[in-house]
Amino acid sequence: MATRSDVRNRLGLRPVINVSGTMTHLGASIVVPEAIRAASEVMPEWVEINDLHRKASAAIARATGAEAGFVTASAAAGITLAVAGAMTGADLARVEQLPDASGMRDEVVIQMGHMTGYGAAIEQGIRLAGAKVVPVGNVTDARGYQLEHRISERTAAALYVVSHHTVQYGQLPLDAFARTCRARSVPVIADLASEYDLRGFLAAGADVAIYSAHKFLGGLTAGIVAGRKDLVRATFLQNSGIGRGMKVGKESIVATIAALEAWERRDHEAVRRAERGHLDLWMKRFAGVAGIRATIIPDPTHNPLDRLVLEVDPEVARITAWDLADALGAGDPPVIVRDHEVEQGFFQLDPCNLHPGEAPVVADRILAELEAARRRNAPSGRTVAERRAARFERLLRWPD
């Protein structure tokens, strides 16, 4: 493995290997050199922030095809502020009034299958603006007439979520969702925090598209709001209200500009080839190993990437998928897998965030833990419910 900075050792942090994905709890991404350089250059300098925001708006418009863009603290902040902007427009008195939404349109429709979480519930992100959540349909079945029925004279906006955490069937597609909303003059805000496609969702009918600047783009921590100029302006004006607590620094704004420019120059095909090399290595290493089955699957939201699914047969492997995931995370080096569906007996390996030399280490660690489980030959350990309870207990003990 290539030698890198020892910052984690100096801080007393574990040197984790991330095969989970662009996860906030792991630091979101490997920041691209262009963003690091741009942030370093601006940090000692004074700038007029609103003028810097204008430059960022132009860069976001070029990259997304939007009329305007705005950089905020995160994609989650972007959701709240875009909802607020749809409620207040450019009325500064209303901006200052929030989260008291008296006298404003204050309802946001969202398909029930999209009411997911990103470390917090998306409904709370809506309510932070002073808005009310209006669910559409049920968890696995939303229909156009149900959306139309839930839109009223109080509807300020409609929120559409694209994420692997949402229900992946029985939901209205964005273009149909947007047509219904447009017929009633309701702006559509699309949460696209972990999406590659910077243009297609606006073209499909979203009025505002919200991206993470620090996930696939590899910028510093920030969110990108792109779309109709009037709605983006209203979102920006929340900096004079509830957005003040979600403001972004000069370093993250310039890093976002640099990351967008680097994205346009990136050899995406070469990135995919490197990722495929990691997947092929894992498939070869796991072939014929008793108790596990490896397959490669595409990303569920159509990002141009694949992941490896590792199914675990606890009777043969002598370990459950969740105990294997935990053993990998607790070992040396710690390997953090994509385990949000682990109770179904599998976890995934995401190749997108590996440093050179880490893919073989991931395979070595998995095979070592499987061999250790076979030697122990003990019954399966904790239930998923016990595992989840232990995680919550650990969270509640923070900072101990």
Q: What is the pLDDT of residues 40-65, one digit of tens each?
A: 999 999 999 999 999 999 999 999 99
Amino acid 123: pLDDT: 97
Amino acid 360: pLDDT: 97
Instruction: State the Cα–Cα distance between residues 32 and 213, nearest whole angstrom.
Output: 11
Q: What is the pLDDT of residues 96-111, one digit of tens each?
A: 999 999 999 999 999 9
Instruction: State the Cα–Cα distance between residues 325 and 338, nearest whole angstrom.
Output: 9
Amino acid 2: pLDDT: 45
What is the model's pTM? 0.93
Amino acid 3: pLDDT: 53
Amino acid 6: pLDDT: 87
Domains delineated in the chain = 7-25+268-396 (3.90.1150.180), 31-265 (3.40.640.10)
C-beta of residue 347 within 8 angstroms of C-beta of residue 377: no
Task: Identify the residue whose tokens are 């447009």.
Answer: 182
Q: Got the DSSP string for 31-71?
A: --HHHHHHHHHHTTS---HHHHHHHHHHHHHHHH--SEEEE
Q: What 8-state DSSP symbol labels residue 386?
A: H
Q: In order along the chain (400 residues), what is the average pLDDT of each group of 10 residues?
A: 74 93 88 96 97 98 98 97 98 98 97 93 97 97 97 98 92 97 97 94 97 94 98 98 96 98 95 96 97 96 95 95 96 95 95 95 98 87 87 90
Amino acid 155: pLDDT: 98
Cα–Cα distance list, 398 to 55, 121, 146, 392, 393 (Å): 40, 20, 43, 10, 9
Nearest to 24 by CA among 219, 198, 303, 221: 221
Which residues neighbour 65 within 8 Å (Cβ) at sequence distance 6 or greater?
A: 198, 199, 202, 203
